[in-house]
Structure 1
């Protein structure tokens, strides 16, 4: 079996409130392969004071800080893969099984106290913010599926050490491609502002 390989994006202290697991099916070489997906929601509490702007309330409440910049929503995703191979009598090795798991964690605000006007603004804002964060989840999902399928479709190698090295290198390369795609997504959307996640 190939060694466990993983990539982890920045983490915050755990405080899970809701979790669910879904298996996504994709076609790979004529067979169906399942990427196991575990999603966690980690809301943080916001209490808006009378007369306070929603921006100020969110800025004071958010625990999310990345490179000195505060955000109202954030997504972390993690891809892990393992694989098995079969060694032929000639010494050549081929992949026989791949297991890939995606974990995502989305952190969004939860407004507990607010005026009717503050809540109306918040509801519109958090819907757009959630939509933006689901874009990050989808990039993680795409990464997991791309890695699973690419390793599954690798040709046999001259020996098992080469196969393991090449499979893990391929996984990490695809992972970095999707990390770069995620950065482009934030730049293109201005962290969700062009998708409606902005406050006056």
Structure 2
């Protein structure tokens, strides 16, 4: 009589995070600095905290299943997906716009893209840290232990990203010290 033993699962492949990025624009119009500011104040991204001239909104989804094989628990179907949506103003200077206004706009546009890019980078880093976490903890002696440790450490990573975003906005005045202020 032959006995067949199911071999343990191979270590799971933990794929790189799926990172999708989308930039959405709202159109502003105007011939003067005050008109541009008024348009951004009226049309910028709106959430429960207020209106923002530029905004980066990451939506993170991460998950995994577990499977117990011969006294060990293994990760199954691990994945991390982050969708980063950035909202920015766009302006087409009307004929006759002064060179000074266009230069100020270009500097502002570079600064707001840089600042929102910093927020996007925090989201990318968060996704990569979650993948690294799952690569570090591919298996454990119990599924409940594996799930609990991944969930707990994952929450730490997510809180760290939230704190990094808050610190960035506090340190830069929502980008003002990086040029996202129109001091015209």
Does TM, scored on the shorter chain, surpass 0.5?
yes
CA deviation profile, 1:25-76 (whole Å, cap 9, x unmatched):
xxxx9x8841111001110010114574432232233243441x32100000
Q: Which residue does the alignment assign to 1:95?
A: 75
CA distance in structure 2 between the partners assigned to 1:144 and 1:93 by the alignment: 23
RMSD over aligned Cα, in angstroms? 2.4
Q: Which residue does the alignment assign to 2:29?
A: 47
Matched, 1:157 2:140: yes
| Greater strand proportion | 1
Matched, 1:107 2:83: no
Q: Which residue does the alignment assign to 2:101?
A: 118
Q: Structure 2, unaligned stretches of length 5 or more? A: 1-10
Aligned-pair CA distance for 1:107: 0.3
The correspondence of residues 158-177 of structure 1 with structure 2, limited to 5 A, is: 158-177=141-160
With structure 1 as the length reference, what TM-score do the two structures score?
Answer: 0.74
The correspondence of residues 3-14 of structure 1 with structure 2, limited to 5 A, is: none
CA deviation profile, 1:138-185 (whole Å, cap 9, x unmatched):
000110001111122116333213322322222122111110111001
Matched, 1:64 2:46: yes
CA distance in structure 2 between the partners assigned to 1:139 and 1:86 by the alignment: 32
| Greater helix proportion | 2
Q: Is the 8 A contact 2:29 2:36 kept in 1?
A: no
Aligned-pair CA distance for 1:86: 4.0
Q: Is the 8 A contact 1:151 1:171 kept in 2?
A: no
Q: Structure 1, unaligned stretches of length 5 or more? A: 1-28
Q: Is the 8 A contact 1:81 1:101 kept in 2?
A: yes
Alignment counterpart, residue 83 of structure 1, candidates 55, 59, 64: 64
CA distance in structure 2 between the partners assigned to 1:162 and 1:189 by the alignment: 41
Number of equivalenced pairs: 169
Cα 1:186–1:52, aligned 2, differ >3 Å: closer, same or farther?
Answer: closer
CA distance in structure 2 between the partners assigned to 1:176 and 1:99 by the alignment: 19
Larger Rg: 2
Q: Which residue does the alignment assign to 1:190?
A: 173
